[in-house]
Structure 1
Amino acid sequence: MTDFNASYDRETTEAARHWIARLASGDISEQEMASYKQWVANEKHHEVFQHELKLWRSLNLIADNLAPSTAISIQAARMKQRRRKVVVASVSAIAACAALLLAVPDITMRLRADDWTTNHIEEVVLSDGSHVVLDADSAFAVHYEHGARTVALLRGRAWFDVRHDAEHPFRVEAAGSVAEDIGTAFEVDRRLTDESVETSVQSGSVRVSSRNNGASVILTAGQRAVWRDDHVSRETDIAPYSVASWRDGQLMLTSVSVRSAVQTIARYREGRTFIIGNIDDLPPVTALVDARRPDDALAALASGTSINIYRLPGGIVVVRRKN
């Protein structure tokens, strides 16, 4: 393939940038996706698209310059009112840059996914009749071939009600974890906080194993296991009815970190949510959250903990520890 010169075809370059922006937006329609796939099937268009995508990814090189040191240094300002204005301006700039950087992995993920959600919960019926309920800010890809049914959970969490078929095993892969159905309904949660994967069984049984070392456990109703660092370990049992309770829009957060609470609520917001600075040593929280009113939930969380909420244009929210 010849070297690509972006300057010789401005129309194609602009089209590629348009599709990158639409894919990153998270609200691209099925009709638009079909148009994108038709456009990118052209070899030249694909080459230009990859070139532009590479430029976007290069933005990661400046990520180290986006640490919140500027906002922290401003806290030393003498006048409280002026300090607050400057801090808000600083976190606005940081959030805007971070939003641009976060769009890059989003594009890559969406190009791999068969289905994804933004701030809503979605139910999908697979070709074999199995049901999937995909939580907000989640994505999966389906690979049904060679006698096996595999779903790759690329992000977030999902609940599966599997149409059992002994001759065609059903597996859910997430990071290095593999959950194999033995006739069941279960949840797989690919956590953002510590890069672990939790599997919880509502009914039936599931074998959870590590893809690399083969270690496995078999779970039945109410049992849980966590994959972390290539190891699978049992967790405390829970009531089967509480598995994937988020499906009805009610989130029960039980003794979770403030960071985890913010990240969970953020799934259901339309705009981006950023945490700046260290909040990991704040006391854990317990709350019942209505996923349909995420901004109210964030406000309630802030009123009961030592965090401030900054609301910026474009639906952006910045969370920082109180001074």
Structure 2
Amino acid sequence: MSRDAPNIIDQAIAWHLRQADMAATEWEAFVAWLEVPVHAEAYDRVTLLDRQIAEVRFPDPAPLPVAANDDAPRHRRWWPLAGGGAIAAALVLGLTMPSVFAPAAADHVYATRDGERRDVRLADGTQVALNGGSLLRVSGDDPRRVALDSGEALFHVVHDAAHPFELRAGNQVVRDLGTTFNVVHSGARIAVAVAEGSVLFQPDGAQLRLGAGQAVTMAADHRLVRSTLPTAVIGGWRTGDLSFDGTPVGEVAASLRRALGIDLRIIGDLSKRPFTGMIHVTGAADRDVPHLADLIGATWRRNGEGWVLAQRDAATP
């Protein structure tokens, strides 16, 4: 083990603890950090140990003996682990004492930066196309158990009735019934669209079956909106064709960020305005951003290396 290993483990623990609250710029830094093989290996070990620690039940402490001259029994107080520091300590303990836990395969992590795409073939033959700004985790024990922590992916699943494919996005579950489907996980918003076959979407434990051409979006407040769309447009981001149906402009901008790898900011309430339509991304931000601004009735301006969109009556110089 190199002399830098403890420091890398500390970094992996820090990234793991921060994930739930990371901003977009932090996700970009995390993806860049993961691209170093030793970093990805360390992060896999941390996530594995965290999962194992959660599954272990530690025995209750035995009571201390009471001295004969004590007026009343005294019990040592055993404080439960709480907070990031305790979790980090537990992870470090697990990483330095691997024999305490039963061995298990680490998750495989696949990540892309904004503007980057990646195709992944899982051990069962399932094919996954990752859009930019995405993070996918595949169970090391079962390639048919995956999690899309953020971003967008198109799944072409090998059907196995005896062993259904399961995707987690946040706390929600999508079970494949033999299909091709697209998933977007952006903040608290989750969108599922089916191109072939069918899936069983289980929002908050419910059972919602979606067939080809059907889609559902779960908003931050867990409100569900169902829709239908041509199957040909599902996963259209692979060829630069983005399709939206009542999608908040903020999410439209997020799609453009994933496609172009640019800093695109929305000012004011424009991000909440719904947009329906199609956008063809050419790959040139100086064309695509003004085109989006025209479609949504907004103004645009350059801001250093980035771009800013605003409502026409709220434009800034």
Alignment of 1:147-166 (within 5 A): 149-166=144-161
RMSD: 4.1
Alignment of 1:20-99 (within 5 A): 24=29, 26-27=31-32, 30=35, 32-34=36-38, 37=41
1:129 is the counterpart of 2:125: yes
1:307 aligns with one of 299, 303, 313: 299
Which residue matches 1:317? 307
State the AA in 2 paired with 1:197. I
TM-superposed CA distance for 1:124, in Å, is 0.7
1:236 is the counterpart of 2:236: no
Mapped to 2, the partners of 1:22 and 1:203 lie a distance apart of 31
Kept after mapping to 2: 8 A contact 1:141/1:152: yes
State the AA in 2 paired with 1:318. V
Partner-residue secondary structure (3-state), 1:114: strand
Mapped to 2, the partners of 1:140 and 1:279 lie a distance apart of 30
Which residue matches 1:5? none
State the AA in 2 paired with 1:266. R
Mapped to 1, the partners of 2:43 and 2:135 lie a distance apart of 23
1:252 is the counterpart of 2:243: yes
Which residue matches 2:176? 181
Partner-residue secondary structure (3-state), 1:292: coil
Mapped to 1, the partners of 2:250 and 2:212 lie a distance apart of 29
TM-superposed CA distance for 1:26, in Å, is 3.8
Partner-residue secondary structure (3-state), 2:132: coil
Mapped to 2, the partners of 1:40 and 1:232 lie a distance apart of 34
Larger radius of gyration: 2
**CA offset digits 1:182-231 (Å, max 9, x no partner):** 11111112234xx2322211111211112x4x211222211223345786
Kept after mapping to 1: 8 A contact 2:164/2:176: yes
Kept after mapping to 1: 8 A contact 2:279/2:292: no
Q: Which stretch of the first structure deviates more once superposed, 19-28 or 182-191?
A: 19-28
TM-superposed CA distance for 1:162, in Å, is 0.7
TM-superposed CA distance for 1:309, in Å, is 1.9
TM-superposed CA distance for 1:269, in Å, is 3.0
Residue-pair matches, total: 242
1:172 is the counterpart of 2:167: yes
TM-superposed CA distance for 1:117, in Å, is 1.1
**CA offset digits 1:292-316 (Å, max 9, x no partner):** 223421122335523232331xx33
State the AA in 1 paired with 2:179. T
1:216 is the counterpart of 2:220: no
State the AA in 2 paired with 1:316. G
State the AA in 1 paired with 2:191. E
TM-superposed CA distance for 1:114, in Å, is 0.5
Mapped to 2, the partners of 1:209 and 1:259 lie a distance apart of 25
- Alignment TM-score, normalising by the size of structure 2: 0.62
Kept after mapping to 1: 8 A contact 2:191/2:218: yes
1:276 is the counterpart of 2:267: yes
Partner-residue secondary structure (3-state), 1:279: helix
Alignment of 1:109-120 (within 5 A): 114-118=109-113, 119-120=115-116
Kept after mapping to 1: 8 A contact 2:298/2:309: no
Closer, same or farther in 2 for the Cα pair 1:113/1:319, shift >3 Å?
Answer: farther
TM-superposed CA distance for 1:178, in Å, is 0.9
**CA offset digits 1:81-100 (Å, max 9, x no partner):** xxxxxxxxxxxxxxxxxxxx
State the AA in 2 paired with 1:204. G
Closer, same or farther in 2 for the Cα pair 1:187/1:277, shift >3 Å?
Answer: same
Partner-residue secondary structure (3-state), 1:219: strand
Mapped to 2, the partners of 1:218 and 1:229 lie a distance apart of 21
**CA offset digits 1:140-197 (Å, max 9, x no partner):** 111253x7821111001211111112222211111232110111111112234xx232
Closer, same or farther in 2 for the Cα pair 1:294/1:216, shift >3 Å?
Answer: farther
Kept after mapping to 2: 8 A contact 1:148/1:169: no
Kept after mapping to 2: 8 A contact 1:148/1:168: no
TM-superposed CA distance for 1:120, in Å, is 1.8
Which residue matches 1:140? 136
Kept after mapping to 1: 8 A contact 2:177/2:198: yes
Q: Whose helix fraction is larger, Structure 1's or Structure 2's?
A: 1
Which residue matches 2:194? 201
